[in-house]
Amino acid sequence: MDRLNSPLTDEPRFAAYLEALSGVLGHADRIAPLKAYCTGLLLPGARKSIEPMAARIAPACVQATHQALHHFVAKGEWSDNALLTRVRSEVLPLIASQGPIQAWIVDDTGFPKKGRHSVGVGRQYCGQLGKQDNCQVAVTLSLANTQASLPVAYRLYLPEAWVQDAERRRKAGVPEDISFQTKPEIALDQIRAALADQVAPGVVLADAGYGIDTAFRTALTALGMSYILGVQSSTSLWPPGTAPLPPKLWSGRGRPPTRVRRSPEQKPLSAEKLARSLPEAAWQRVAWRAGTNSRLASRFATVRARPAHRDERRHEPRPEEWLLIEWPEGEDAPTKYWLSTLPPETPLAELVSQTKLRWRIERDYQELKQEIGLGHYEGRSWRGFHHHASLCIAAYGFLVSERGRFPPSGPEITERQALALPGSYRPRGAPDPARATRA
């Protein structure tokens, strides 16, 4: 397996990092492909699918290297969870050395995909395209502070049509114990697993796709996790000083009423109506971090309110939470809303800075896709999809750890160079120049 060695394996820190990861693979024959695959993901190149990477790391024996890497990713019986756990144990201390973990960021990311046989593919919202289209979607959990972030869990969302299609599941190798789960349910499983592993706690951040799910918010509170979650302008809330009416007085007949109620005079407001009812003095300009040219800032207001979604089915009102509203100057209406269970004494500036820390997941996805090749896997199987993603996160973890060793003004990390391809190399499917000339 010497052909899988590359220039990167000579770098002491990279070699030590991969050596630490190799201990969870379960078999010594998987160590060389692990090192080669992570090397290929970090080398320059527009495409990070298996064959182009094989050509860059071993140009003298592309076919053999391609076969070895393909078997490692598509067929190898090693654990994604074990690898991601080891990556976390190697990288998280370096992130935490720059400041405590502040946030657990929940999000999902999409990959445009043709056809119908790649695992989990279907017509659904794709953030990369900004619309509904044929794609795969994965749910992730990342840990972050103001300096860095790292994805620590990654799982494909399987649409109901896939869950119910036994033939497609069999061909894609979907495990039998995988049933339909919503994205918030997948995220909760990831959070529970991280808590069980005693990961450093943080405030849970997520967009409105998760924040509008009342069961998701309730479950986080039951787990002891504070949150700042996006919600929609139509979210139903009880304004300050108001609450559902108590249960009706018992008439003495039947069961005593126990559920809270509403009346035409006592009813909740939408988040937008509540925002518009606030006085001008409630709005403050808050800056949260440095941008490209200046500090990022906007206009915000907060109010203590009770979520009202289906509370007429409850026996008592929900507790008050923060409603954070962003209404940039010059806009006709507020643009963003969040609910948060941070303590009542939390200052506005801290609430805003914690909320805006979610930008780190956008940075993760940008680099994982554009630099590491997260969306470049061309296989169709459940195992291959998750193995490729785990290796991408492993390679990205090394970059995160390297940045943590150097201050922003320190020396730049040297870009790694791929080996030159031999003149006779042709990707699979490319026309044979000699045959074309004869024709």
pLDDT digits over 137-190, tens only? 999 999 999 999 999 999 999 999 999 999 999 999 999 999 999 999 999 999
Q: What global pTM score does this model have?
A: 0.87
The H or E element that residue 390 is part of is helix 382-405
Instruction: State the Cα–Cα distance between residues 111 and 375, nearest whole angstrom.
Output: 6
Alpha carbon separation from 221 to 26, 68, 214 (Å, rounded): 37, 46, 11
Instruction: State the Cα–Cα distance between residues 433 and 166, nearest whole angstrom.
Output: 44
Domain boundaries, given as residue ranges, for the chain: 2-205+362-405, 227-243+258-340
Q: Give the up-direction half-sphere exposure of residue 320: CA atoms within 13 A in the CB hemisphere.
A: 13
| Confidence at residue 3, expressed as pLDDT on a 0 to 100 scale | 39
Residue 256 one-letter amino acid: P
Q: What token pair was written down for 253?
A: 């007949």
| Confidence at residue 126, expressed as pLDDT on a 0 to 100 scale | 86
Instruction: State the Cα–Cα distance between residues 421 and 251, nearest whole angstrom.
Output: 87
* Spacing of C-alpha 258 from chain mean position: 41
Share of the chain above pLDDT 70, in %: 87
Instruction: State the Cα–Cα distance between residues 129 and 271, nearest whole angstrom.
Output: 28
Q: Where do the DSSP E strands lie in 308-383?
A: 321-326, 336-340
Contact 130/146 with Cβ under 8 angstroms?
A: no
| Confidence at residue 284, expressed as pLDDT on a 0 to 100 scale | 96
| Confidence at residue 125, expressed as pLDDT on a 0 to 100 scale | 87
b/e map 156-173, b = 16+ CB within 10 Å:
bbbbeebbeeeebbeebe
pLDDT by residue for the chain (439 residues), tens only, comes to 333 444 444 478 999 999 999 999 988 899 999 999 999 999 988 899 999 999 998 888 899 999 999 999 999 999 999 999 999 999 999 999 989 999 999 999 999 988 888 999 999 988 888 888 999 999 999 999 999 999 999 999 999 999 999 999 999 999 999 999 999 999 999 999 999 999 999 999 999 999 999 999 999 999 999 999 999 999 999 889 887 767 777 766 777 766 777 776 678 899 999 999 999 999 999 999 877 777 899 999 999 999 988 776 666 778 899 999 999 999 999 999 999 999 999 999 999 999 999 999 998 999 999 999 999 999 999 999 999 999 999 999 999 998 877 654 344 444 444 444 455 555 554 555 444 444 3
Q: Tell me the pairing of strands 295-307 and 236-238.
A: antiparallel
b/e map 112-128, b = 16+ CB within 10 Å:
ebeeeebbbbbeeebbe
Q: What token pair was written down for 246?
A: 């108590």
| Confidence at residue 426, expressed as pLDDT on a 0 to 100 scale | 54
Q: Give the up-direction half-sphere exposure of residue 183: CA atoms within 13 A in the CB hemisphere.
A: 21
Q: Which residues contact 90 (CB under 8 A, 6 or more apart)?
A: 17, 20, 21, 397, 401
Q: What token pair was written down for 337?
A: 């809303």
| Confidence at residue 428, expressed as pLDDT on a 0 to 100 scale | 53
| Location of structure tokens 């999409």 | 110
Instruction: State the Cα–Cα distance between residues 301 and 282, nearest whole angstrom.
Output: 6
Instruction: State the Cα–Cα distance between residues 354 and 347, nearest whole angstrom.
Output: 11
| Confidence at residue 311, expressed as pLDDT on a 0 to 100 scale | 74
